[in-house]
C-alpha cells in the first residue's frame, strides 16, 4: 500500500501502522486529527475538504522525506482525507516507526505541524446558520498575514 495517501474514503489506520512496522523499530507513534463538533463557539455540522490534489500529494511526500532526514526514524506513513467529513471522523493520520520512542514522537509532531502549514488543502466549515472557509493552520484565531 502507498504510504502517502490523499483519499476520499475512510483511512485504514491499522494498515498504515502495519505499513511502518519493522523488526528493528521498538516504537510506533501515531497522530489522528479528528473533526470537532465545535469551533470558535459555533456548533459544527460537518466539514468539506478541498485539495489541489497533485501538489498536495507532492507536499505530503516532501514532508515525509524531511521527517526521515531530520529524525532517526525507520518509516513514516501519512494519509489525508478530502471531501465531506462528519464529526469525529479522522481527517488526517500519521504513523511513524523508530528504534526508540523520542524520534517517533518528534517526527509525528513535525509532520502534522508541517501538514497544517504547507499542504494545499482547505477546509470549509458548515455550522448552524452558515458556512465559512477556514484560513490558516491551528485551532486558535489567526489574523490575515500570520
Partner 1 sequence: MKVKVQLFAAAKELARTDRIDVELPEGATVSVLSETIGRQCPELHELLPVSRIAVNQEFALSDLQVHDADEIALIPPVSGG
Q: How far is the CB of 23 from partner 1 (least distance, A)?
A: 31
Q: How far is the CB of 2 from partner 1 (least distance, A)?
A: 18
Q: How far is the CB of 81 from partner 1 (least distance, A)?
A: 9
The helix or strand, by DSSP H or E, that contains position 30, with its residue range, turns out to be strand 27-34
Indicate the SS3 state at residue 135: coil
Q: Which of 37/99 has CB closer to partner 1?
A: 37
User: Any idea what the Cα angle at residue 11 is, between residues 6 and 17, rounded to 5°?
Assistant: 105
Q: How far is the CB of 82 from partner 1 (least distance, A)?
A: 9
Strands (E), the chain: 4-7, 27-34, 38-39, 42-51, 73-81, 83-86, 90-98, 121-127, 130-133
Residues that bind partner 1 (CB under 8 A): 33, 49-52, 54-56, 58, 80, 91-92, 112, 115-124, 133-137, 142, 144-145
Beta bridge partners of 27: 98
Q: Which of 18/61 has CB closer to partner 1?
A: 61
CB atoms within 10 A of CB 18: 13
Contact criterion met (CB below 8 Å) for 81 and 8: yes
Contact criterion met (CB below 8 Å) for 87 and 53: no
Q: Which of 75/114 has CB closer to partner 1?
A: 114
Q: Which of 9/113 has CB closer to partner 1?
A: 113
Q: How far is the CB of 20 from partner 1 (least distance, A)?
A: 19
Q: Which of 9/135 has CB closer to partner 1?
A: 135
Amino acid at each position: 500500500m502507498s504510504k502517502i495517501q490523499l483519499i476520499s474514503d475512510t483511512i485504514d489506520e491499522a494498515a498504515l501502522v502495519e505499513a511502518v512496522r519493522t523488526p528493528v523499530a521498538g516504537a510506533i507513534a501515531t497522530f489522528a486529527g479528528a473533526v470537532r463538533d465545535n469551533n470558535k463557539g459555533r456548533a459544527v455540522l460537518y466539514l468539506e475538504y478541498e485539495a489541489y490534489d497533485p501538489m498536495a500529494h507532492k507536499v505530503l511526500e516532501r514532508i515525509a522525506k524531511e521527517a526521515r532526514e531530520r529524525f532517526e526514524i525507520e518509516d513514516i506513513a501519512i494519509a489525508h482525507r478530502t471531501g465531506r467529513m462528519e464529526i469525529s471522523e479522522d481527517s488526517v493520520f500519521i504513523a511513524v516507526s523508530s528504534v526508540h520512542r523520542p524520534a517517533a514522537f518528534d517526527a509525528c509532531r513535525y509532520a502534522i505541524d508541517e501538514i497544517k502549514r504547507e499542504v494545499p488543502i482547505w477546509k470549509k466549515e458548515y455550522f448552524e446558520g452558515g458556512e465559512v472557509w477556514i484560513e490558516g493552520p491551528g485551532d486558535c484565531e489567526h489574523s490575515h498575514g500570520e
